[in-house]
Amino acid sequence: MNFVANSGDPRGREVMGSRGGEQGFEPPTDIYETSDAIVARVEIAGMSAEEIRLSLDESSGRLTISGNREDPAREEPRRYVNVEIDCGEFMRVVQLPRPVDVSAAQAGYDRGFLVVRLPLRAHEEAQPRNVPIG
């Protein structure tokens, strides 16, 4: 299944610069499906749960995860030798492969990982019906 259609990065994230900067960054994200839910697991250490925003557009089936990860050392003078940790604004948009039950969605943040569990919507059996030709 292909959940995110962007970038040339084999992990499905767009490369936007080493520090995020004005464009922001996309945190590494795993999406998987269990027998009863779709689960998004986002690696976004250094934040509190209150700093992360989640939005689910039921009509389009898109989950948006966004926020702003502050640089904890922003106040002290420094000269980088290597920069790999993205800071600043971030946003990750995931196209869900199946309808989910928004009212039963759950999210938790622990040890740098955000886990969003979206229960699958119960399938409604399609009933055959006659269509009049007018």
pLDDT at 6 over 70: no
**What b/e readout covers 38-62, taking b as 16+ CB neighbours within 10 angstroms?**
bebebebeebeeeebebebeeeeee
Which CATH architecture best describes the domain 19-36+48-74+81-110? Sandwich (2.60)
pLDDT in tens, 23-65: 689 999 999 999 999 999 999 999 999 999 999 998 899 999 9
Q: Residue 44: what pLDDT?
A: 96
Q: Residue 2: what pLDDT?
A: 26
**pLDDT band at residue 122 under the 50/70/90 scheme:** confident
Of 7-11, 23-27, 90-94, 97-101, the one with minimum mean pLDDT is 7-11
pTM over 0.75: no
